[in-house]
Amino acid sequence: MTALRSRPAATLAVVLLGFLTLPMSMSGTTVAVPGIGRDLDASGGSLQWVVTGYFLMASSFMLVAGSLGDLFGRRRIYRGGALLYGAGTLASAAAPGVLFLDVARSVTGIGAAGVMAGGGAVLASTFEGPARTRAFAAVGTTAGVGLAAGPTVAGWLVGGVGWRAAFAVFAAVAALLLAGTFAMPESRAGERPKVDWAGAGLFIGGLGAVLYAVTRGGDAGWTSAGVLGPLVVGAVLLALFPLAERRAERPVLDLGLLGNRRFMGWIVAAVVMALGMAGVIAYLPSYLQGASGLTAGDAGLAMLMPTVPMLLMPPLAGRLVNKGAPPRLLITLALTAMAAGNAWLTVLDPDLGPYGLLGPLATIGAGAGLAAGIIDAQAMSHVPEERVGMASGLLNTVRGGVNALAMTVFGAVLVALLTGRLDSARLAGEVATGALGGPPARRESLAAGLTDAWQAALWGVAGLSALGAAVVWALLAGGARRQLSESGGRRPARRDGWARTNRQPPTRTGTA
C-alpha cells in the first residue's frame, strides 16, 4: 500500500509517456511506408500490413491484456507490453525483408495493447476522486498530441535519419517505459489467477478476422472470397464468444459489465466520439489537397483547426467535472457539438479556402476534446476495482475498433457515391483519396463530385452522432444517488447489471 501512494506522479508520467509515443507510432508509420517500399522492394498488401498489422494486433489484444492485468498484475502486463513493444520495434529497425517487418510490427502491436490497457488500469487503481479525473484528462490530452503529431515527428525522423533509425528511436522510448515500471505500484484482483484461454482465443480470432476483412474490403472488393471468408469466420467466432464466457469460471469479459447501464453509456460515448472524428482525420487532408489545391504543408496546417481544441479541452473538462459539472450534461454537449460540427462542415467547397472551415473544424475538435477529457475516468468509476483492467481493455478495444471501422466505412461511402456518378470504381477510389487529374475542366468536375459525396457522408455522420448523443443521455439518466458522485469521487455501492458474486476485494502489492 505504501508503494501505491508514494509515487503517483512518477506512475502518471510513465503512463503518459506510453500514451504519447504509441499513438504517435501508429499514425506516424504511414509517412515511412513509401521509403520502406523502396528499400525492401515491397508493395501492395504486404507493405500495407506494416501499418495494418500493428493496428489489428493492438485492437484485438486490448481486452485480453486488460483482463490478464486483473489476474496477474496491471504493472506486470504494462511491463510485458513495453518489453514486446521495444523488441518488435527494434526488430522492425533491423528487418531484412518486408515479411520479417510485418511479423515484427504485429508483435509491436501486441505490446502496444499491453501498454495501453495496462496503463489505463494502473491509473484507475492508483488514483481516486478528482485526482483520477485529472489523470485521465491528461491521458486524453497526451494521446491527442501523440496522434496529431505522429506524422510530423515521423516525417522529420524519416527525412533526417531514415525509417530504420526512426524505429530505433521508438525502441529507445520503450526502454524508458520499461524502466519506469519500477516506479509503478502493483495491483490485481483478489481472485486466484485462472486464464480463460477459450474466450481469449475466440475474441482475438473473431475481432482480428473481422477487422482484417474490413480493412481489405475497399481494395479487394466486399464480395471477394478474401473478404467474405474472414468476415464470416470472424462473425462466427464472435457469436461463440459470449457462449464461452457464460461458462467460464473467470471470463476474459464478464458479461455483467455489458449490463452495467452507465458504464455502457460511456462506451457508447467513446463510439460516437470516434465516429465523429473518423472522416475528418482520415480523408479531409486528401480533399484539401486534391479538390482545393492546397499543398501538403498547408493541408497539415489546416488540420490544426480541430487539433488545437482537442489538446486544450481535456484539462478543462476535468476541471469542470471536479467543480461539480454533471458529466452526463458535459458528454451530451460534447457529442452534440461533434454532430453540429459535421453538419456545419457540409459548407465544404473547393473554392471555400481553409479559413472558411475554421468554425466547423474547431467545433468538431472542441467536442472531441471535451469528450476525451471525461470518458475514461467516468467509465472506470462505474466498475469494481477488481475489473478495472478488463474495463480499460474493453474501452480501448472499442475505441480502436470503431476508429478502423468508421474510417473504412467513410471511405467506402465516398467511393460508392462517386462510383454512381463516375461509372468507374477504380476512378472513384482515386478521386476519394484526392487524386484529381486531367485538364482543368475535368478536375473541376471531379472536385464537384467529390464535394457532393463528402456532403452526403457528413450528413450521415452528423445524424448518427446526434442519435448517439441522445442514446448516451438516456443511458446515463437517473440513479444519481446510487452511482459514483458525478464530481469524480467515490465508487458506487451498487452497480447496474453487475454480478453479485463479484464481491471479493482486490489485493494490492508493492513495487518489489
Residue 392 sits in a domain whose CATH number is 1.20.1250.20
Q: Looking at the structure, do residues 159 and 12 belong to the same domain, yes or no?
A: yes
Residue 479 has pLDDT above 60, yes or no: no
Residue 149 lies in domain: 1-182
Q: What would you report as the CA-atom Rg of the chain, rounded to the nearest whole angstrom?
A: 22
Among the three residues 155, 182, 209, which one is the final residue of a domain in this structure? 182
Q: What is residue 440's predicted lDDT score, i.e. its pLDDT?
A: 84
Among the three residues 204, 229, 249, which one is the final residue of a domain in this structure? 249
The residue behind cell 464537384 is 448
What pLDDT, in 10s, does the model give residues 238-275? 899 888 888 887 787 778 778 888 989 999 999 999 89
**Residue 83 pLDDT class (50, 70, 90 cuts):** very high
What pLDDT, in 10s, does the model give residues 337-364? 999 999 999 999 998 877 889 999 999 9
Q: Is 509 contained in some domain?
A: no
Q: Is 511 contained in some domain?
A: no
Q: What is residue 500's predicted lDDT score, i.e. its pLDDT?
A: 34
Q: Is 336 contained in some domain?
A: yes
Q: Is 469 contained in some domain?
A: yes
**Residue 493 pLDDT class (50, 70, 90 cuts):** very low
Q: Looking at the structure, do residues 223 and 265 belong to the same domain, yes or no?
A: no
- Give strand pairing partners of 77: none
Q: Looking at the structure, do residues 372 and 277 belong to the same domain, yes or no?
A: yes
Where residue 423 falls (left for φ over 0; alpha for ψ -120 to 50; beta otherwise) is: left
Q: How far is CA 411 from the centre of its chain?
A: 18
**Residue 496 pLDDT class (50, 70, 90 cuts):** very low
d(CA 347, CA 238): 40
**pLDDT, mean of residues 210-224:** 74
Q: Is 70 contained in some domain?
A: yes
Q: Looking at the structure, do residues 220 and 124 belong to the same domain, yes or no?
A: no
Q: Is 188 contained in some domain?
A: no
pTM: 0.72
Q: Looking at the structure, do residues 241 and 282 belong to the same domain, yes or no?
A: no
d(CA 196, CA 304): 44
Q: 423 by DSSP, 3-state: which? A: coil
Q: Is 508 contained in some domain?
A: no
Query: CB under 8 Å to 193, separation ≥6 — which residues?
Result: 71, 72, 250
Q: Looking at the structure, do residues 460 and 367 belong to the same domain, yes or no?
A: yes
d(CA 244, CA 340): 41
Q: Looking at the structure, do residues 160 and 222 belong to the same domain, yes or no?
A: no
d(CA 318, CA 472): 19
What pLDDT, in 10s, does the model give residues 87-99? 999 999 999 998 8
Q: What is residue 508's predicted lDDT score, i.e. its pLDDT?
A: 42
Q: Looking at the structure, do residues 45 and 94 belong to the same domain, yes or no?
A: yes
Q: Looking at the structure, do residues 210 and 146 belong to the same domain, yes or no?
A: no
Q: Is 496 contained in some domain?
A: no
Q: Looking at the structure, do residues 162 and 261 belong to the same domain, yes or no?
A: no
Q: Looking at the structure, do residues 245 and 300 belong to the same domain, yes or no?
A: no
- Of the listed ranges 5-9, 224-228, 482-486, the least confidently predicted one is 482-486
Max avg pLDDT among 151-165, 248-262, 359-373, 497-511? 359-373
Number of domains in the chain: 3
Q: Looking at the structure, do residues 177 and 204 belong to the same domain, yes or no?
A: no
